[in-house]
Amino acid sequence: MDFKPGAALSEYLLHYSLKSEEASMSIVGHVEQLRRSQCYQQNEAMTCITCHDPHSKPALEDRVEYYRAKCAECHTDEACKMPRNARVAKSAQDDCVSCHMPSSASDIPHFVATHHRIAVYDGENEFAAPTTAGTLVPLSDLSTLSQNQQDRYLGLAYLDRSIKEDNPQFSTEYRQRAQTILEKLTADGVWDTEMGAALAQIYQRQNPLRSKQFAERVLQSEGLTPQVRIKALFALSETQIAARQTSLAIPVLEQLTQLRRQAGDWYFLAACRYHEKDLDGALDAGKIAVAIRPDRPNFHALLAELYLKTGRAELAKHHQQLSMQLTQLQKSVQQQAKQ
């Protein structure tokens, strides 16, 4: 569905922010952080370009004074509750940003980020990793949407959050929230293919039969978007592979490889063809998997086995060596990361 000028943007696109009672410098986006600021919430005119000129930026030596002047457009020097001598002791240039938008290590290695939630920070653990899962809150006005529509969007958003979440415990909780919301809507008679594809994803491992039912129902529908078709095909192929129904998984994976370029799809297609004794077809798919992701040791290991089965010992040896080298490299990187 294409956006039509004059229509509510919330009918086409919604953004959510992850709200937590605990502060964190996980990279969730400067826009989201800014929107949590009292400065932003109490000033309708405030945007990114209030402080950032899109056509130029201050020289490094002028940066503190430049941004301090931006703060002074709304805040007086006397309004700061910290005495000036204490501020100067902390920052010789009386830097507002260092107190109210502190920089900290982020979840990206070697990257330091400036927190864009303008606030008073007074604790050493302001940016400690959260210990409880957050709550998704919409960044848009949803008053034009029915309660069912709002719940639908929220359920889909929680599933998306669960996929992107690094913390396994939080990921499971977000996934459970998505399941609860979407299942209730389905029980109430609310249904569409995007919801069906989402539920097929949710049930992939915990209830493969239910996942398969949702995926097949979606794929029998007309007018699917490529994204929904991909999600349903992937969920269906996963349940078929788990049940060792490789002959059924092959045509599903073949469709999937035509819709997206992902090495894992080609790898599983190669493995399924191999299981069905189609060595040439397996070799073709395995080569593509390695071409897309030459850094995956298991891809090279499968290719080595296929070359050996087809009588090409030198190529088999080459890919077996690559597999071993990459495995060792991965172990080394993991050990360094733990230090």
Residue-wise DSSP of 101-159: S-EEE-SSTT-EEE--S------TTTTPPPSS--EEEESS--TTS-HHHHHHHHHHHHH
Domain ranges of the chain: 18-114, 133-191
87 against 296, higher pLDDT: 296
**What does the pLDDT read at residue 107?**
45
| Predicted structure pTM score | 0.71
What's residue 121's pLDDT?
67
Name which of 1-15, 62-76, 147-161, 200-214 the model is least confident about: 1-15
What average pLDDT does this structure show over 285-292?
98
- Other Cβ atoms within 10 Å of 300 Cβ, number: 25
Q: Answer whether residue 158 shows pLDDT above 90.
A: yes
Give the ranges where 165-278 is alpha helix by DSSP (H): 168-187, 193-202, 208-219, 226-242, 246-259, 263-275
Residue 180 has pLDDT above 50, yes or no: yes
Q: For 261-280, how does the pLDDT look when each residue is reduced to its tens digit (9 = 90+)?
A: 999 999 999 999 999 999 99
**What is the share, in percent, of the chain residues with pLDDT greater than 70?**
89
